[in-house]
């Protein structure tokens, strides 16, 4: 939960930019690779209403875990389905990393007397972008990481890998619930620990440190 309404407002504004950038990047790369499905659904857009899932957004504020509306992809339209699906999947996290670098650069080079609300918006959006980049690289379906690593799975293991993908959402939700219980009873979050360290490392790389 968040301690004050201002935090809620800044996080909501950050979500309204980070998730559309992420999902629109999936849609755009899919279109470039020959699949017009997402474009036909109006997903090459930065309009938050096309990408924010109502329940997924509410849960982000309640339990710090949620989702956007998945970008529809039809692999049959792709010339090289396994490779192209991986490229489409990677486009989402990569767009969040690029957005974080852009905001980090602006925070470094914009005037020091930048209005406080603008600086806070940039900070919240930068941090959320990096979190989305890191979290979506985890190899659990339906996260992007599960599609990215499929190009490295040997052909003889593809059946087992697809079976693993089908169990991915259950595994991910189970891990999230266990992590929340661990945080609730012991004050320690494995996801939080890993993301915090990686987040700070990325912030240092782009010239922004806490």
Q: Which of 23, 123, 166, 200 does the annotation list as catalytic?
A: 23
Gap between the Cα atoms of 30 and 33, Å rounded: 5
Give the end-to-end CA distance of the chain in Å, rounded to a whole number: 22
How much of the chain is helix, strand and coil, in % rounded to 5?
Answer: 75, 0, 25
Per-residue pLDDT of the chain (210 residues; tens, 9 = 90+): 455 788 889 999 999 999 999 999 999 999 999 999 999 999 999 999 999 999 999 988 887 788 999 999 999 999 999 999 999 999 999 999 999 999 988 888 888 788 889 989 999 999 999 999 999 999 999 999 999 998 999 989 989 998 999 998 999 999 888 988 888 888 878 777 767 777 777 777 766 665
Helix (H, G, I), strand (E, B) or coil at 43: coil
Gap between the Cα atoms of 30 and 44, Å rounded: 10
Tokens at residue 121, please? 């918006």
Q: 82 and 150 in contact (C-beta within 8 Å)?
A: yes
Annotated domain spans of the chain: 5-205
Helix (H) or strand (E) holding 81: helix 81-109
- Residue 155: Cβ within 10 Å count: 7
Partner residues linked to 68 by β-bridges = 52
- pLDDT value of position 189: 80
Helix (H) or strand (E) holding 56: helix 54-63
Partner residues linked to 52 by β-bridges = 68
Gap between the Cα atoms of 45 and 193, Å rounded: 34
23 is catalytic: yes
Tokens at residue 65, please? 């875990």
- pLDDT value of position 77: 98
Q: Give Cβ neighbours of residue 115 (< 8 Å, ≥ 6 apart).
A: none
Q: 142 and 168 in contact (C-beta within 8 Å)?
A: yes
- Residue 1: Cβ within 10 Å count: 8
pLDDT digits 0-9 by tens, 106-141: 888 888 788 889 989 999 999 999 999 999 999 999
């Amino acid at each position: 939960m968040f301690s004050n309404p201002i935090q809620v407002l800044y996080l909501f504004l950050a979500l309204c930019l980070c998730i559309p950038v992420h999902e629109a990047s999936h849609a755009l790369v899919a279109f470039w690779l020959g699949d017009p499905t997402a474009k036909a659904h109006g997903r090459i857009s930065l309009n938050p209403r096309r990408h924010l899932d109502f329940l997924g957004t509410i849960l982000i504020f309640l339990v710090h875990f949620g989702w956007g509306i998945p970008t529809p992809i039809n692999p049959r339209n792709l010339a090289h389905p396994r490779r192209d699906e991986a490229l489409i999947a990677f486009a989402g996290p990569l767009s969040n990393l690029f957005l974080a670098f852009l905001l980090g650069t602006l925070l470094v080079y914009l005037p020091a007397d930048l209005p406080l609300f603008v600086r806070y918006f940039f900070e919240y959006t930068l941090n959320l972008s990096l979190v989305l980049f890191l979290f979506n690289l985890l190899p659990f379906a339906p996260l992007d990481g599960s599609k990215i690593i499929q190009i490295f799975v040997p052909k003889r293991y593809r059946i087992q890998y697809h079976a693993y993908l089908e169990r991915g959402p259950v595994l991910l939700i189970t891990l999230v619930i266990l992590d929340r219980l661990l945080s609730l009873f012991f004050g320690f979050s494995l996801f939080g620990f890993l993301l915090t360290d990686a987040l700070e490392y990325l912030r240092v790389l782009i010239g922004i440190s806490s």
